[in-house]
Structure formats: C-alpha cells, structure tokens
Amino acid sequence: MEISTQFTSAGLLVSLKGALDGLSEEKVKSQLKIVLQQNRKFMFLDFSGVTDVTPTGLRNLLPYVQQVQQQKKELILFNLKDNIHGLINSSGFDSLVKVVDSLDTAIKYVHAKKSA
C-alpha cells in the first residue's frame, strides 16, 4: 500500500495505491498517523489506485475514522470500484464516512458545507 498526500484549497487529498488488507496494516498505520497531524477539516481519500479491500483492511481504518470524528474533521472517500463500494456499504462503513463518486463531487460537498 502506497499513500501520498497533496494539499488543496478544499482539504487534504490522500491517494491510496495497492491493496487495503491485513498485510498493509503497519504501512497504513504509520502513513495515516502523519496525515492526521495535518490541520485540515476535510480529508479526501482517493481510492482509484486501490486494487482490493478486505474486511480486515477496513477494520484497520476504524481507529483513524474515530480520530477524525473526535477532531471534528470529515473523511470523504471517492473513486471507489463497484466491489469496494459494495463492501463499504454492506459493512456499514459508509455510515462513518462520506462516500461520493469523484473529487469534483467531494469539493462541491465541502463548499456546500462551508457555506451552510
């Protein structure tokens, strides 16, 4: 699993590449710990490079989702392949994060929240 970040005017863009599974746990932990230290209210997770997600991989994200919520920040996932989107929906993970189709939609969502 590779994780890269980029600052945007709307928030922090986090691009994921590879499989999000039990084997990627340590790498994900160390990378996301750094990401959470960035002072951005909105974090966008780009799943376009994610090849596979397992239930264990999703469970590994839970502590970070909880931290994001405690810090009054929001995690927005986009570019999910159908099978990954299905797993996120069936696991209930979509109740913890916002899931949209694209970065454009995510940015529109953020602008709408900021102006509300």
Pick the CATH number of 2-115 from 3.40.50.740, 3.30.750.24, 2.40.50.140, 3.40.50.300: 3.30.750.24
Helix (H, G, I), strand (E, B) or coil at 88: helix
Distance CA(87)–CA(75), nearest Å, equals: 17
Tell me, yes or no, if the pTM score tops 0.75.
Answer: yes
Distance CA(25)–CA(39), nearest Å, equals: 23
Tens of pLDDT, residue by residue over 11-59, are 899 999 999 998 887 887 777 777 778 778 899 999 999 999 999 988 8
CB 77 within 8 A of CB 99: yes
The domain ranges of the chain are 2-115
Q: Which residues, in sequence order, are CB contacts of 10 under 8 Å at separation 6+?
A: 42, 44, 106, 107, 110, 111
Tens of pLDDT, residue by residue over 81-91, are 999 999 999 99
pLDDT at 106: 95
